[in-house]
Structure 1
Amino acid sequence: MAYNVSSPPGFRRIPFCGCWYPPPQYYSGSKYIGPPHQNSKSYLPLEDMEAHTVIKDVSSRTVLTQTFLNNTAGPIKGLAYSFPLYDGVSVVSFTATIGDIQIQGLVKEKQQARREYNDAVSKGSLAGLLEQVPEASDVFVTSIGNVPAGAKVVVEVVYVGELKHDAESNGIRFTIPSSIAPRYGQTPGSVAGSLPLNTALASSKAADAIRITVDFQSPEGCIIQQIQSPSHPAAVTIGRTTDMPTTSFVPNRGSATLLLGSTNLDKDFVIIANVRDADKPRALLETHATISNQRALMATLVPRFNIAPTYGEIVFIVDRSGSMDGKMQLVTRALTILLKSLPVGVKFNICSFGSRHSFLWPRSKSYTDDNLNQALKHIDTFQADFGGTELHDPVKVTISQRFTDMLLDAIILTDGQIWNQESLFSIIRQATETHKCRFFSLGIGSGASTALVEGIATAGNGFSQFVAENEKMDRKMIRLLKGALTPHIDDYTLEVKYKSDDDDFEMVTAEKAAPKADVTLQTASAMMVT
């Protein structure tokens, strides 16, 4: 199933999220034979959503709770719940409460988890299954079976992750994604039925239907200087978290709160915090709660190397597919900064892509005033008129027509709406290994796929940045360009030595979860334990 992404301006594409169920004709007895057609699905109304995040140093732990109501006249056999997560997080807990019964997820092998879920549903038992979509690691799908009429479905997902650096503010950036836009290309069968394109999600109008709280707990001596949200009018407090008395003031504590009277979060909720000395190297060591001699280590450092820049070839690969409608002004602003900041001596080119692709010049040209002006006039004509999103061919052609006597650095600007990500990453990894190419990425707009944008940078030995509407971007663009101009480092090694009683490490004690009823949980996310 390929989606028409060259839709007319103003066409609203409903985000990839929601709690839905297929009609009876998609069942043969008790066996689900879906997925249903896009327009045939029905949605449960979302009554309430709450997210509470605790940020310690450069890591976060979020508890996301959403409440749905089965307002149908009978039980639902195959309820599905699809939701987005930021790339790089690990799901550590999944709980579904249906009426008075609570079930908790257990991590099991994928096929075994599916078998046990199907067996439970066929027997009429309550069951749930959480799966991470392999084609896009920022999409999770939960299947919940046999929901009684009139029952409330409360889903709680707990996930942890490492925060991102925001180059514009030189702070730490935390995002709660509101949605994942429909992706172009063949949709994986496991989620094909959960991509609502033109069916509105039911939502309540209750006061404070959305409650998002972010508490900051910085290390001793790391003063929180500023907390801001470029996306929403959040209430910010410096000096205390939400669980502290109102008279308290601790300089390394802070909080941000967002309350909305609707369950529709229109765009990603972004929080940026500036913490003094946040860029100092540090490490966190966590001991396992039940297994002896098992630890997990997370090290954070901001490398600062005094290395002279190199002047090779830089190609800007720009997404002009239909999904970029409304975002081309951001693209033009970003490219203008990048182009005007190029140094004399570098060669550059611009590749536009969608269902087709084209280059400004057959091969990259040297940076001169005339070539710069030609490039600036070219980007002023940009529109989201290239059809679907096909990124493989422009990447392949960029690699094949490079100057073999120069190093190639590519900067991809995209909103990241494709499914077949891993094959693209393989192309990029091969180019970095065989031809010493390097790839950077810029995520454009709210809802950009973090799995794709950050996956490009990881596979290409570069790094990524994100920019949304109404955000400043000058420093982000300069950082991207500086990264592309640094010499290519073929290999490096990081050696960490520690002792269990070393005072330089902050010991984190894991909390034990109370035992709950068993249900299978399958996800690709996992904590790495050494």
Structure 2
Amino acid sequence: MDCCGLLTAQKEPVPLKSIEVEVEVRDHVATVVSTLNYENKEDKPIEAVFVFPLPGDAAVCHFSAKIGQTQIVAEVKEKQQAREEYDDALSSGQQAFLLEESEQSPDIFTLSVGSLPPGESASIRLEYVTELAVQADDGLRFCLPAVLNPRYQPQGSDGASVQVTSVPASLVPYSLSLSARVSSPRPICKVESSCSLDPLQYLNPEQTQATVKLAEGHKFDRDVELLIYYKDAHQPTAVVEAGQASAEPGTLMGDPVVMLSLYPEFPQSVTSSLASCGEFVFLLDRSGSMDCSINNTVHQETRIGSARDTLLLLLKSLPMGCYFNIYSFGSSYEHIFPKSVEYSETTLEEALKKVKEMNADLGGTEILESLKHIYSQPCIPKQPRQLFVFTDGEVFNTKEVLDLVKKNSGSHRCFSFGIGEGASSALINGLAKEGGGHAQFITGTDRMQPKVMQSLRFALQPAVEDISVTWALPKGVSVTDLSPPITTIFQGQRSLIYAQLTGETLEAAEGSVMVKYNLAGHPSQNQLHFSLKPAQDTGLTVHRLGAQTRIRSLEGEERDNEGELDEGVKKKVVDLSVQSGVSSSFTAFIAVNKGNNEPIEGPLTRRNVPAPSFMMMSCLQSGYMPAPQMMPCVAAYGACASFDMQEDCDIGDMNACYEDLVCGVVEDITPKQISTDPFLELVSLQKASGCWLLDPALAAALGKTSEEVENTKPSAVNQEVWATILALIWLHGFKMEAKEEWELLAMKAISWLHAQNAPCVADCVEAGNTLLGYSVQKDAMGL
């Protein structure tokens, strides 16, 4: 490990010195400007190559370089043309800069800084805009991905994997600073983060503007996540942005673009009655990296451990009458039942027994084959399929996976969960978007359970059908949708719509949009009126997000048997990307310093800048070290040392090393002592029907002896009713702060109690409160 940290594989200095990030958040959109400062301290010219992550839905819209006093602004060009110009510039001794998106995954970018002379400094400016996702607690999530985890490449897949030179995140030799300015029409309640922040500074008495920044001494060892909370966050809004004055009217950049943020509200009668049917398929990542902790704390629960606990809660919360199955995947995949089975006490017990035995022992991260098998299973009549995917998102073939989910989107809804630092946002968000579900990220000190239970509530909502969007605009104004059609709506979930407005608009004029849909057999609609007067000082943020939405939609269209997009569609993507200045998988940013007439002498030496890699942090801290002969291949995956890609390491070798490494971690590290959580212990004792049994295990979970529990039971009540009421009292009295985690299984228990038509319920509640030391009211429990 001598060569980790400040040196590359050849023990040469790392040319990237610092990264400065400025974030401008306007309501639920962020503009991010990153400045990367390079310096060549060697005595020969170098090419610095940096592979790094960005949010999967980021619209990269500006790239420029400053060398000395010379500023060079990059242009967007077709990718092959840009690469050829870059190579030509380097071969003629000119300085050149190339920024391109990975063809496998839109959340990985490669930045090449070519021909940096000895002693020269270069400052690279990168700008992108991104939507902020709404979290379970209504917070808006901004994430600056600092960590690039290795992307596992399946055996036999085509194409070279992105070459990443990595070191453990704590050894990254360059610094990161970040400041954010937040503004909104509504007051800003608070800003939270898993990283240390300086106190929030309000800029006006209304508290609608504020600044916040990372505290001094921030370690570049985790993703930087900001959670922003507004008052009355669920208000629908519309922003109309004027077109670019220099662009031709009738084009996307020349016309106004509107961004609508809609929060459809369902009738109370529908939201109060959750579905009691469905086929629930749980797909769990069991690759070796799932044995690492969720963050970089050695003693924190592992990703696989948290997923097991969450599966327990999910299974206990399922309604009687539904169907379910559990799949797990790594280099291969497994399932508990050959096909989905009806939910009963017998099938529940069998599933829980298998879940307890699940470890991160299946090698790599090949999710595609398991999904193909799930989709090959026939759907069960009148049991809508709901797929829950749990993964740390380290897959190579993201676009292939998303194409498969999109192809099968008519038969199911997909809910995805990205576990731990560095999970691919392109994969997690893409699964939910293409599968008509909801995405959640679990990082830092987050508990997985409340986020997953919110998604289960969404899954239990009836599917919204026949969704249509109708525009009402002044005469002479036409609309072109930039967003794909809305295919899913959940209560309280935001839907964003982008549209281009063509024609003469009067500043005083108004427009409206009507969203109509059918919910559980009831026609419903929501309408939003908005002014066509353009908003002030928005730059071209809305245009770029609209262009990005249209580009991603085109890129996701049907491909041929070789996975190639139709040439006409590809040309549309390139034209729109060049016109809007927004990156795509078929274009790249290219900048050449043509003002410097003196060619750079000498051969160019390549320096791969190490990116932070989180996967090995826990393993290194736990004392595991791969064998020396494995290091070249492991390093090529970005696991634990700063080595260049070895030419003799093919994909098969790398995957073998990767699997040996992560399986070795499982075998070599002493298992952590698992502390029993009384809450999970109580949950595990609940029966499929919703009741609890009066036995010593329940007494122990309640912190009482069997005698105490049995002797205080009112004589007229049977044991199961008494046990179930005691469990409910304990949940309301002891675990009220985690109500979102147990609310669904408590509802099932209440339904069971009502079906028993038990006598003396009030006496039971009073006796239970006395025994457990609480004062929970009967009405508060739904009795």
Do Structure 1 and Structure 2 share a fold, with TM-score over 0.5? yes
Could you tell me how far apart the structure 1 residues matched to 2:114 and 2:6 are?
Answer: 12
Report the TM-score, using the length of structure 1 for normalisation.
Answer: 0.81
Q: Report the equivalent of 2:284.
A: 318
Q: CA deviation at 1:491?
A: 4.3
Identity among equivalent positions (%) equals 32
Q: Report the equivalent of 1:507.
A: 535
The 1:90/1:362 distance shift into structure 2, 3 A limit, reads same
- Which deviates further from its counterpart, 125-134 or 338-347? 338-347
Q: CA deviation at 1:497?
A: 3.9
1:251 paired residue among 207, 212, 217: 207
Could you tell me how far apart the structure 1 residues matched to 2:446 and 2:428 are?
Answer: 18
Q: CA deviation at 1:413?
A: 0.6
Could you tell me how far apart the structure 1 residues matched to 2:102 and 2:83 are?
Answer: 14
- Which deviates further from its counterpart, 365-374 or 457-466? 365-374
1:157 paired residue among 102, 108, 126: 126
- Which deviates further from its counterpart, 503-512 or 293-302? 503-512
Count matched residues. Answer: 468
Q: CA deviation at 1:374?
A: 3.6
More helix by share: 2
Could you tell me how far apart the structure 2 residues matched to 1:365 and 1:236 are?
Answer: 52
Could you tell me how far apart the structure 2 residues matched to 1:160 and 1:90 are?
Answer: 5
Q: Is the 8 A contact 1:354 1:389 kept in 2?
A: yes
3-state SS of 1:157 partner: strand
- Output aligned runs, 1:266-305, within 5 Å: 266-290=221-245, 291=247, 292=249, 294-305=255-266
Could you tell me how far apart the structure 2 residues matched to 1:103 and 1:47 are?
Answer: 20
Q: Report the equivalent of 1:422.
A: 399
Report the TM-score, using the length of structure 2 for normalisation.
Answer: 0.56
Pick the structure with greater CA Rg.
2
Provide, for residues 144-187 of structure 1, a one-character-per-residue CA deviation record: whole Å limited to 9, x for no partner.
Answer: 211011222322111101110010x2211111111220100069
Q: Is the 8 A contact 1:289 1:511 kept in 2?
A: no
Q: Which amino acid aligns with 1:413?
A: F
The 1:64/1:391 distance shift into structure 2, 3 A limit, reads same
3-state SS of 2:199 partner: strand
3-state SS of 2:178 partner: strand
Could you tell me how far apart the structure 2 residues matched to 1:276 and 1:480 are?
Answer: 23
Q: Which amino acid aligns with 1:223?
A: P
Q: Is the 8 A contact 1:285 1:508 kept in 2?
A: no
Unaligned runs of 5+ in 2: 293-302, 475-504, 511-529, 542-580, 587-783
- Output aligned runs, 1:228-377, within 5 Å: 228-229=192-193, 231-237=194-200, 239-240=202-203, 248-261=204-217, 264-290=219-245, 291=247, 292=249, 294-306=255-267, 307=270, 309-310=274-275, 311-326=277-292, 327-377=303-353
Q: Is the 8 A contact 1:129 1:142 kept in 2?
A: yes
The 1:369/1:467 distance shift into structure 2, 3 A limit, reads same
Q: CA deviation at 1:202?
A: 5.3
Q: Is the 8 A contact 1:178 1:269 kept in 2?
A: yes
2:37 paired residue among 67, 71, 76: 67
The 1:147/1:171 distance shift into structure 2, 3 A limit, reads same
Q: Is the 8 A contact 2:147 2:169 kept in 1?
A: no
Q: CA deviation at 1:335?
A: 2.1
Could you tell me how far apart the structure 2 residues matched to 1:253 and 1:525 are?
Answer: 36
3-state SS of 1:479 partner: helix
Q: Report the equivalent of 1:395.
A: 371
2:87 paired residue among 118, 124, 127: 118
Could you tell me how far apart the structure 2 residues matched to 1:448 and 1:371 are?
Answer: 32
2:354 paired residue among 366, 375, 378: 378
Q: Is the 8 A contact 1:49 1:67 kept in 2?
A: yes
1:181 aligns with 2:149: yes
Q: CA deviation at 1:40?
A: 6.2
Q: Which amino acid aligns with 1:371?
A: T
Q: CA deviation at 1:228?
A: 1.1
Could you tell me how far apart the structure 2 residues matched to 1:402 and 1:469 are?
Answer: 39
1:49 aligns with 2:19: yes
1:224 aligns with 2:201: no
Q: Report the equivalent of 2:577.
A: none
Could you tell me how far apart the structure 2 residues matched to 1:522 and 1:114 are?
Answer: 17
Q: Which amino acid aligns with 1:250?
A: E
Could you tell me how far apart the structure 1 residues matched to 2:121 and 2:109 are?
Answer: 21
Q: CA deviation at 1:254?
A: 2.4
Could you tell me how far apart the structure 2 residues matched to 1:19 and 1:450 are?
Answer: 29
Could you tell me how far apart the structure 2 residues matched to 1:158 and 1:361 are?
Answer: 49
- Output aligned runs, 1:204-223, within 5 Å: 209-219=175-185, 222-223=186-187
Q: Is the 8 A contact 1:117 1:128 kept in 2?
A: yes
Provide, for residues 405-438 of structure 1, a one-character-per-residue CA deviation record: whole Å limited to 9, x for no partner.
Answer: 23211111111111112222222222223xx222
Q: Is the 8 A contact 1:90 1:525 kept in 2?
A: no
Q: Which amino acid aligns with 1:259?
A: A
Q: CA deviation at 1:480?
A: 1.0
Could you tell me how far apart the structure 1 residues matched to 2:169 and 2:180 are?
Answer: 31
Q: Which amino acid aligns with 1:233?
A: S
RMSD value, Cα: 3.0
Could you tell me how far apart the structure 1 residues matched to 2:322 and 2:10 are?
Answer: 54
Q: CA deviation at 1:341?
A: 2.0
Q: Report the equivalent of 1:5.
A: none
Q: Is the 8 A contact 2:13 2:41 kept in 1?
A: no
Could you tell me how far apart the structure 2 residues matched to 1:188 and 1:227 are?
Answer: 43
Could you tell me how far apart the structure 2 residues matched to 1:93 and 1:389 are?
Answer: 34
The 1:198/1:475 distance shift into structure 2, 3 A limit, reads closer
The 1:389/1:522 distance shift into structure 2, 3 A limit, reads same
Could you tell me how far apart the structure 2 residues matched to 1:52 and 1:140 are?
Answer: 19
Q: Report the equivalent of 2:462.
A: 487
Q: CA deviation at 1:189?
A: 5.9
Q: CA deviation at 1:198?
A: 7.8
